[in-house]
Amino acid sequence: MLSLKLPQLLRVHQVPRVFWEDGIVSGYRRPTSSALDCVLSSFQMTNETVNIWTHFLPTWYFLWRLLALAGGPGFRAEPYHWPLLVFLLPACLYPFASCCAHTFSSMSARARHICYFLDYGALSLYSLGEPAAGARAGRGGGGGAPLEPQLQRPHLTTGCAFPYAAYSMPASWLHSRLHQLFVPTAALNSFLCTGLSCYSRFPELESPGLSKVLRTAAFAYPFLFDNLPLFYRLGLCWGRGHSCGQEALSPSHGYHLLCALLTGFLFASHLPERLAPGRFDYIGHSHQLFHICAVLGTHFQLEAVLADMGSRRAWLAVQEAPLGLAGTVATLGVAVAGNLLIIGAFTASLLRAPASCPLLQGGPPDGGTQAKQQ
């Protein structure tokens, strides 16, 4: 009869420093776990279990939303809906990639870094689908010539550029220089995000502060840039209630931005576990809360995109011809290829590193740090 034994859990002083998490004292998996051990560990309570499930289950939720919308009458046949599809594909991918990264990151030090390289790439791709609010709308009067179809930015950080560009751009930005440069700039941001976030893993043992700043900036800057159209529309409508016409924002936009701010705060602060090391090892630490806020933010972002799609559709219909399917697929392909090249370059550098490299070994636990953790 087949008998499976759950993997043994370790304390912080029993694993190399490269596996340490700030404020987490216990519940670590063996740093040389097999793939089967990693899968089995998702069914026992470790300090990664909730991280795994808080992104595995939402993967299926977003996949269900994708299939439900795509199965609607005329959805796939109408170009107006294609940017939403490009948003939903990375929205399904990034939680699944994160789930896999947390599941298999204890196989080895190299595997840990590579898992998170791929996680960063998927998160960057999600930024490409982010509604970049501006590629399809025209001037407020609707009498100008239609804009030429443009490729959306190859962006692997929030999957949102396509829908914002298609459904959410402020009317006064259309045909402007900012509108023309928005997508190319976002494309550069995509590669910058993936490159910075991958590079941030290399100095994290010797300079943890620098590593944290680089990784936070890698995702904070693209988020701020991508949401400039929303911030502008929010400023126009501040204190005007529902009198701002096409610039009015759905409440879901506000919930999305609030969740994004909470996500960034939790990622940067490591609260509450930093205040009480060991108390939140299994349930309630910042990365779990970070996952929950990120998923809620994506949900509200989807609702906000759907609201803009419905409320602005008649207005957008007279502004600009929709981006063709070929252009949409080509842009997504360029984004995926470019970010995979970046990830491949960092992976090759990691594989060439000697086994004695501190990045891979982490060195013996430092007594002072260990005491602080416990």
DSSP secondary structure string, 238-259?
A: TT-TTTTGGGPPPHHHHHHHHH
Pick from 219, 213, 196, 157: nearest CA to 342: 196
Instruction: Say what the pLDDT of residue 12 is.
Output: 95
**If you search the block for the tokens 């509108």, which residue do you land on?**
179
Tally of domains in the chain: 1
Residue 296, in any domain of the structure: no
Residue 25, in any domain of the structure: no
CA dihedral 181, 234, 242, 88 (to 10 degrees): 60
pLDDT over threshold 70, residue 200: yes
122-170 pLDDT, tens digit each:
998 887 654 433 333 333 333 333 333 332 233 333 347 677 877 888 8
261-316 pLDDT, tens digit each:
999 999 989 999 999 999 999 999 999 999 999 999 999 999 999 998 888 888 77
Instruction: Say what the pLDDT of residue 327 is.
Output: 58
- The residues near 177 (Cβ < 8 Å, ≥ 6 apart) are none
Instruction: Say what the pLDDT of residue 180 is.
Output: 66
Pick from 189, 169, 184: nearest CA to 127: 189
Residues β-bridged to residue 28: 10
Residue 311, in any domain of the structure: yes
Between 181 and 87, the more confident residue is: 87
Residue 270, in any domain of the structure: no
Take residue 77 and report the two structure tokens written for it: 């046949």
Residue 79, in any domain of the structure: yes
Q: Could you give the percent of the chain with pLDDT greater than 70?
A: 79
Peptide bond into 354 cis (omega under 30): no
Residue 245, in any domain of the structure: yes
Question: Which structural domain range is residue 346 located in?
Answer: 45-251+301-353
- The residues near 75 (Cβ < 8 Å, ≥ 6 apart) are 69, 81
- What is the CA 302 to chain-centroid distance, rounded? 14
Q: pLDDT band at 3, cuts 50/70/90?
A: low
14-23, 223-232, 328-337 — which one is most confidently predicted on average? 14-23
Residue 32, in any domain of the structure: no
φ and ψ of 199, to 5 deg: -60, -30
Residue 293, in any domain of the structure: no
Q: pLDDT band at 353, cuts 50/70/90?
A: confident
